[in-house]
Structure 1
């Protein structure tokens, strides 16, 4: 019996691999992409990077301006995430099966979060460009909407997983709805919620670079400006600042997670 199951799994795996290879071949044929040419171009790309894409003494004079843009990006990312987390917590409480007021209202909360979650941050930025133009506000709302959808889903799953048994126990004792929320649900979910918020901050800092290209603000706009003006040395400095900032935020995030979890 186990041998038949093992053979079936091997067959399914082989079929899946063949299907992926077939789809890859069809996609490469339609797009006229040559894997051989792509691999052959890697050494030239590396050579060009070492020859042109590195900071110089002249580019270091732009460092204060780059750091200001990076600070703007960090603040926008953190602000968008924290405000989105507060709103997402409200929607998650009303949308969770453990704490919802009724099934209809809970379905509406989940549906709204699903719509926001399934529209990419870059797509939100392009949509909001029509309303706010190229400004920091466009980047803020793009990150806010994407964060709200993702965090609502994450918080709903956290509440369903962590609080279901305690909510049922408190309901059995006759505790009021708000007592259950503030005395049981929120305290028990706080560590996981903070972890999700920190993850979202990290993600938004990465996304903010791309959003900045579209919104004309922050570190993404600085990179686009220097790169399009063929100032590759300063553009490379922008990339280094982005990488260092992301690593620094991740170190802080990991430390906080170790403390709270």
Structure 2
């Protein structure tokens, strides 16, 4: 164990030297960071129309991507559950989920920007892929943890596959799926502010443009608005979770 720890320490020192992570750069960066923060205050809310427009577009992107992603995640998650789906179906579907999860949503957004052009459509598509990858995986794992006694009881009545899903599987995982949905909506609200940086719509595009103009007081206003939006979304989702308990 000591040898392993020593090897890790040696590697950390080697990696730091290769990446030029010197103390001098840290000190210089702290000074530059202080000057940068000083230029961000006080925040400038004079162009509040542009700010509101970007926030509304981000909210629209997040809501659309979440709804579409959840509609797709429900059947995908069921097909990926190995206790109710045959191996020849669950295996490929799980591979598809892994592909959706393998790329960061910003990279996916760049790909869709190249495919469909700049704007909110690329952002919606990118967050749909992220939603399917996340929710489908968790939903499939939740289905695999259900009690099979209820499934067998419904099957013994001669019910078909759809009836088994509706009366034996979904009731056991419905509350968890709602929880996954709320978490994904909260996540997409945060992510929708980032995809705009690569041209996929939302407040991120406004933020990136302000950075390029060195308009740092407006940058500060945008960041405060984004933080307020996320805190509001967290408050609402917390109230909904509390009401479901």
TM-score by length of 1: 0.86
CA distance in 2 between partners of 1:50 and 1:175 (Å)? 65
Q: CA deviation at 1:97?
A: 1.8
From 91, 96, 100, give the equivalent of 2:81: 96
Q: What aligned pairs does 1:1-261 form with structure 2 within 5 A after superposition?
A: 11=1, 14=2, 17-34=5-22, 36-41=23-28, 43-45=30-32, 47-56=34-43, 59-100=44-85, 102-261=86-245
Query: Structure 1 residues 168, 220: closer, same or farther in 2, change over 3 A?
Result: same
Q: CA deviation at 1:124?
A: 0.7
Q: Is the contact made by 2:123 and 2:201 (CA closer than 8 Å) also made in structure 1?
A: yes
Structure 2, unmatched stretches of 5+, are: none
CA distance in 2 between partners of 1:18 and 1:81 (Å)? 46
Query: Structure 1 residues 164, 111: closer, same or farther in 2, change over 3 A?
Result: farther
CA distance in 2 between partners of 1:188 and 1:140 (Å)? 30
Q: Which has the higher contact order (CA 8 A, sep 6+)?
A: 2
CA distance in 2 between partners of 1:21 and 1:168 (Å)? 54
**RMSD (Å), alpha carbons:** 2.0
Query: Structure 1 residues 87, 243: closer, same or farther in 2, change over 3 A?
Result: same
Question: What secondary structure does 1:61 align onto?
Answer: coil
CA distance in 2 between partners of 1:228 and 1:182 (Å)? 53
CA distance in 2 between partners of 1:163 and 1:55 (Å)? 57
Q: Is the contact made by 2:135 and 2:181 (CA closer than 8 Å) also made in structure 1?
A: yes
Q: Is the contact made by 1:95 and 1:106 (CA closer than 8 Å) also made in structure 2?
A: yes
CA distance in 2 between partners of 1:230 and 1:254 (Å)? 37
Query: Structure 1 residues 40, 164: closer, same or farther in 2, change over 3 A?
Result: farther
Q: CA deviation at 1:23?
A: 3.0
Query: Structure 1 residues 186, 45: closer, same or farther in 2, change over 3 A?
Result: farther
Q: CA deviation at 1:49?
A: 4.3
Question: What secondary structure does 2:145 align onto?
Answer: helix
